[in-house]
Amino acid sequence: MQPMKRVFKAIRRKVQKEKSAKSKKIHDVSSSARSLDIPPDRSHTSIGSLSVGAKSGTEFLPVQLEPSLSLNSLGVSYDDFYEELPSFKEVVPEEREPLLIKKLRLCCLVFPFYDEASLANEKITETKDLKRHVLLELVDLISTTKTWFSLEVLKEIITMVSLNLFRTLRQSPLSDFDPEEDEPTLDASWPHLQIVYEFLLRFVVSTDTDVKLMKDHLTQDFVLRILHLFNSEDPRERDYLKTILHRIYGKFMGLRPFIRKAISNVF
């Protein structure tokens, strides 16, 4: 059996496990963290007032940002979305990178999709739509333009993707949830998540990037957090994850042994 087929077979077995095995899953996650030199007792990373992390059972895996990048240093707020920024087609090539970095930083702001007070806030609702528009712009840029990649842009991309994807996962209220029989738990933040996943996919498969630079920033730590997102009960998210993991496995040969080992440890 081909290596990636074994990987996805393991993933399918994992998502079909009953939630009654929760305590065993927590033990497995802690064991995999020890084997990969990730301290299992780190609870989460707090960035400003935002707590971010990928959750599996009760275990959090902290998001590690570039040393110089955090929401505090980026100074991102809802009001920033109301600044009239030009489209990428409206600027000369020399101005494209600063504009790209600015829009990537805007998209680092993660919106509440479950808080009732926030859902009733018209400004937040409107700003969510503005973020979605900016995300679509980013997807279009890396899909249609060849001169967008640089080291600084790469760092900003990893930060934006990490802040949006590596989060606490919503769990089904059913203790014995079965993805084959029960209605899936759909993530309310999917209007943003879907575009971030599409952006990440196109970023990984792009031929306009420098693979050598990407190897230094698309790290084992990043891949491990991608793997833990398979705990999501939203089938749409798992479909994107399978495709992205497959592309990473195919493009970055140096990560293949780690991915196979991590699959065996986590799942």
State pLDDT tens for residues 250-262. Answer: 999 999 999 999 9
CA–CA dist 96, 22 (Å, integer): 48
pLDDT of residue 185: 84
Give the mean pLDDT of the chain.
78
> pLDDT by residue for the chain (267 residues), tens digit each?
566 666 666 665 655 553 444 334 333 433 333 333 323 332 232 222 223 333 333 333 444 444 444 455 567 888 999 999 999 999 999 999 999 999 999 999 999 888 877 777 888 899 999 999 999 999 999 999 999 999 999 999 999 999 999 998 877 666 666 666 778 889 999 999 999 999 999 999 999 999 999 999 999 999 999 999 999 999 999 999 999 999 999 999 999 999 999 988 766
Long-range contacts of 220-223 (CB under 8 A, 24+ apart): 220/36, 220/255, 220/258, 220/262, 221/38, 221/64, 222/158, 222/162, 223/248, 223/255, 223/258, 223/259, 223/262
Q: Which fold has domain 3-171+185-266?
A: Leucine-rich Repeat Variant (1.25.10)
pLDDT of residue 47: 26
pLDDT of residue 78: 85
Q: What amino acid occupies position 191? A: P
| Tens of pLDDT, residues 208-231 | 999 999 999 999 999 999 999 999
pLDDT of residue 2: 63
Q: How far apart are the first and last CA of the chain?
A: 18
- Going by C-beta distance under 8 Å and a sequence separation of 6 or more, which residues neighbour residue 152? 97, 101
Total length of the chain: 267
